[in-house]
Structure 1
Amino acid sequence: MQIIPVKELKDGAHVSEMCHATDEPIYVTKNGYSDMVIMSAEAYDAMSERVRRSEAIAMVVEGVAAVQRGEVRNAFEAASEIRAKYGL
């Protein structure tokens, strides 16, 4: 983990090199406190993709759990009931 003070951002080329040298975020401090986090666009895109995949997996897991809890119905049966109810 890298931590730099905000004043180092003045040297943009150096900070860019630091970002591209690692896939990890760089924490920027202001007055000794964490202020922001920076990373290369490539590292950010990779991290975002991992998050999207994790969210998709979580949705599938929740769907399976709903089936196991009996909270879902067969689509064909539900459609038949709707057609019968509304005379479709």
Structure 2
Amino acid sequence: MPEIRPIKDLRNTTEISELCHQIKEPLFITKNGYGDLVVMSIETYERSLGKLELYQKLAEAEAQIKNGEELLDGDEVFKDLKKKHGRK
């Protein structure tokens, strides 16, 4: 269930910050009974961006498969990454 608060609650910034870190989800702010803002911790924001990037890459990979493009070998990719980043 989403957390929803009235805009007047933004006066207590410490409480809002603690709540955002506690729920680890966006906090919805209403103004005059209507949705107005979304507030979240940086960690939640970065996690959301990471998920979005992953979904975009998955969609791109699915399009490449659908178009019959040559795919990379997973073992080779991980081997190259380990070599590039100094892991054996």
TM bracket, shorter-chain basis: 0.7 to 0.9
**Counterpart of 2:19?**
18
Equivalent runs, 1:8-87 vs 2, <5 Å: 8-67=9-68
- What CA deviation, in whole Å up to 9, does each residue of 1:31-78 have, x standing for no partner? 0000011110001101110110110010000111111xxxx6xxxxxx
Matched position secondary structure for 1:48: helix
Matched position secondary structure for 2:67: helix
Runs of 4+ in 1 over 2 A off after TM superposition: none
Q: Pick the structure with greater CA Rg.
A: 1
Aligned residues: 69
Q: Percent identity?
A: 32
Matched position secondary structure for 2:30: strand
- CA distance in structure 2 between the aligned counterparts of 1:10 and 1:55, rounded to whole angstroms: 37
Question: Could you state the TM-score of these two structures normalised by the residue count of structure 2?
Answer: 0.74
User: Unaligned stretches of 5+ in structure 1?
Assistant: 73-88
User: Unaligned stretches of 5+ in structure 2?
Assistant: 70-88
2:13 partner amino acid: G
2:8 partner amino acid: K
- CA distance in structure 2 between the aligned counterparts of 1:23 and 1:53, rounded to whole angstroms: 19
